[in-house]
Amino acid sequence: MLPLVIAGVLLGLSHGPIGVALGYSLAMTLLVIPIAAWSKHGTGITWADLWEATKPPFLSGLLAVAAGLLVKLTLGGRLPPMLYLFVGLAVVLGIYAWVLLIVMRQKHVYMDLLSQVLPRPQPRQEGTVEPAAMSL
């Protein structure tokens, strides 16, 4: 796997930073299927299961990319660089989140994930003594 990534980067070197980025991106894209096959091997996860799990973020990402390209085509060179960056980020992230959470109806999945990562503090039970209240 690593030789493919190195080859992609080396092939892109003669075309500057854009060529390196493109070579790296293409190499990583080619590796998605073999890495997915290796990671699900022996788990009972089917390709259909994998597609169902990855379809909402994948399609949301495609629409966000399209929105980003539209921003580039319409605003490219017309705004100061920092404003252009922030507008592009807001559009891409906003479209991605909107499509994923609202259109694809995945809000419950991510709210559940957040509730597990950021657990709520447990309410104090009556009759318990705070550690600070126990001091003399």
Res 122: pLDDT: 76
Res 81: pLDDT: 94
CA angle 24, 93, 111 (to 5 degrees): 110
Rounded CA separation 78/98 (Å): 26
Residue with tokens 């998605």: 32
How confident is the prediction along the chain (136 residues), in pLDDT tens digits per residue?
A: 889 999 999 999 999 999 999 999 999 999 999 999 999 999 999 999 999 999 999 999 999 999 999 999 999 889 999 999 999 999 999 999 999 999 999 999 999 989 999 977 777 777 666 666 555 5
Tokens of 52: 């169902």
Rounded CA separation 59/100 (Å): 8
The ranges assigned to domains in the chain are 1-43, 46-119
Res 125: pLDDT: 74
